[in-house]
Chains A and B, each alone.
Chain A
Amino acid sequence: MPQTLAQKIIARAAGRKTVESGEIVTCAVDLAMFHDSSGPRRVAPRLEALGAGVWDPSKVVVVTDHFVPAADVESANILKLTRDWVRDNRIGTFYDMEGICHIVLAENGHLTPGLFAAGGDSHSTTAGAFACYMAGYGATEMTGIMVTGEIWVKVPETIRIAWSGEFCTGVCAKDVMLFLCAELGMDNSFRVVEYDGSTVAAMDMSERMVLTNMAAELGAETGIIGADRTTVAAIEATGADVPDDALDWRSDEGAPYCAAHAFEASDLVPMIAAPHAPANTRAVDSFARVSVDQCYIGACTGAKYSDLKMAAAVLKGRRVAATTRVLVAPASTQATRRAAADGTLAVLTEAGAIMMPTGCGACPGMGAGVLGDGETCISSTNRNFQGRMGSASAKIYLASPYSVAAAAVAGHICDPRDFLT
């Protein structure tokens, strides 16, 4: 029986040959990740109440990214609790202030094809770019995993989304996802979104991770992409071992999809999501001259090295408009180091951008760079829900790093292609 990639991974983790959509199975978790907000501060008291320990500390990865660096005593205490718990429980891997969890997992070779993983964060879907099955869960459910090493899964159906051809200059994976949020809506619950086609095959891992990251905004169980040479090369570059069967982790020919969509990449233009939902997306020309108080390059979606390069491509030799401000919070220290080494950071700072600490920052409204009453922000992040980045009366427009940088130069939303010819 042909199986989708998601079914193949779930079957393997459940100790089965195949699984059918709709059935409920129990899967063994290969890797469990949580961060300073969802992790030890909420899980540790629950484990204590149960008198239970961590089932396998070698399979647990903890990352500090939400409250870093501590801006107040509450945040500092959460970070201290996190560090103490990691030490006391001999947790296998701890990344302290090295970047946003989803990016750090990828950069350090934790994600290999066929892996069944669980994350204490909704954007854990990001790992699907590496042909992993990884979904997000809350703290009590992560506590259950800490105790048992297992989780129940209702085997989801898969929606196949194929993109063919090449993007125009100034269009990227972020535009794909904003477009898809409008096209497919945000309530694709209990389904997996699988991406393929020549456009996806040509993407580097950083761009593929945008597709799987924002599967969360589609409301999907997770996002996933079959393994290929690009996947394998990216894992090799981290120094991690590539499993012998890496390239087998793809959907079978004739796999059962519940829906299939096909799009042409060359038809896509820069897209903008208006407040207060990613699904409120239209082409950039619908928003011409919406003025912006803040331009934010940040988060797991939009501040990787490649995103900083996109912003720099627009900002090179230009200045940020006097009526706005640009905040850049790189997604990882590795991204910062790469961008510093090749001059990308200098392009951003010469243009007038302000460098912020690495971490989730203003995206979830927890770090520096939040918005005041009635302010407007254009952001390379993933969510523009009301009040998310600060004041409930602030307006957040979501866009690609190209479009955020273009708005920075103009002081208002505009087409980034005009800066890239």
Chain B
Amino acid sequence: MTAIAGRAWVFGDNIDTDVIAPGAYLKFSPEEMARHCFEAIAPDFATKVEVGDIVVGGRNFGMGSSREQAPQALKILGVGAVVAVSFARIFYRNALNLGLPVLFLPQAEEIAAGDHLSVDPVAGAVVNATQDRTYPCDPIPDHLMAMIADGGLMPHLKKRIEAGLIKQ
């Protein structure tokens, strides 16, 4: 997995999927939806976020709906990883299934907007170059590592089907 590095976009606790992926746009394509990502609370996010940037959350990031368009919108916009104190369960699973690294970092609240971060989801580390701090964190869980290495659940399933591991 290549290094993930970019600027921090910092959000607070309990960021819900309605602000990440507003319901009114669910009928459109994920690409169209992505243009409205965080519209209600950070209207310039979708136009200003750059490839590799890292979204930083507080507690319970991604609470609410099962809509996969939430992590998908972040991925479409080029977000390299999400680092948060904690994640809501469906968002966490959805992000990893789509190949978007998500890492629990208890000290996420020390990160300031615009800080230059780099993230190593395999080793479990977040480096804040702006503040000259390095945080160890839990790596991606072992049982999901093969899926992440394959790039997400879809390529992982394809590989298993081709290897004859899933009966069709």
Contact = CB atoms under 8 A, between A and B. Distances in A.
Contacts of B18: 364-365, 383, 385-388
Interface string A30-69: 0000000110001000100111110000000000001100
Contact of B154 (A38, A53, A119, A140): A140
Interface string B115-151: 0000000000000000000000000010100000000
A24 B145 CA distance: 14
26 contacts: A24-B141, A49-B154, A50-B154, A50-B161, A72-B27, A122-B66, A122-B90, A124-B66, A138-B67, A138-B93, A139-B68, A141-B97, A141-B153, A148-B166, A187-B63, A187-B88, A189-B87, A189-B88, A364-B18, A366-B23, A366-B24, A370-B24, A385-B16, A386-B40, A388-B18, A390-B24
Interface in A177-235: 186-187, 189-190, 219, 221
Contacts of A379: none
Contacts, number: 135
A42 B69 CA distance: 10
A256 to B, nearest CB: 20
A164 interface: no
Contact of A122 (B23, B41, B65, B86): B65
Nearest to B22: A387
B101 interface: no
Interface string B1-37: 0000000000000101011001110111000000000
Interface string A144-179: 100110001000000000000000000000000000
B24 A122 contact: no
Nearest to A122: B66
B94 A152 contact: no
Given A386-B18, A387-B22, A140 B68 contact: yes
Interface in A115-130: 119-122, 124
B106 interface: no
A75 interface: yes
Interface residues of A, number: 52
A20 to B, nearest CB: 15
Contacts of A368: none
Nearest to B71: A138
Given A136-B90, A140-B94, A187-B59, A50 B23 contact: no
A277 interface: yes
A144 B68 contact: no
A290 to B, nearest CB: 21
A137 interface: yes
Nearest to A78: B27
Of B26, B88, B89, B166, the most chain A CB neighbours within 10 A belong to: B89
Contact of B93 (A141, A277, A366, A392): A141
B75 to A, nearest CB: 12
Contacts of B28: 74
A74 B27 contact: yes
A140 B89 contact: no
A191 to B, nearest CB: 9
Contact of A366 (B27, B40, B60): B27
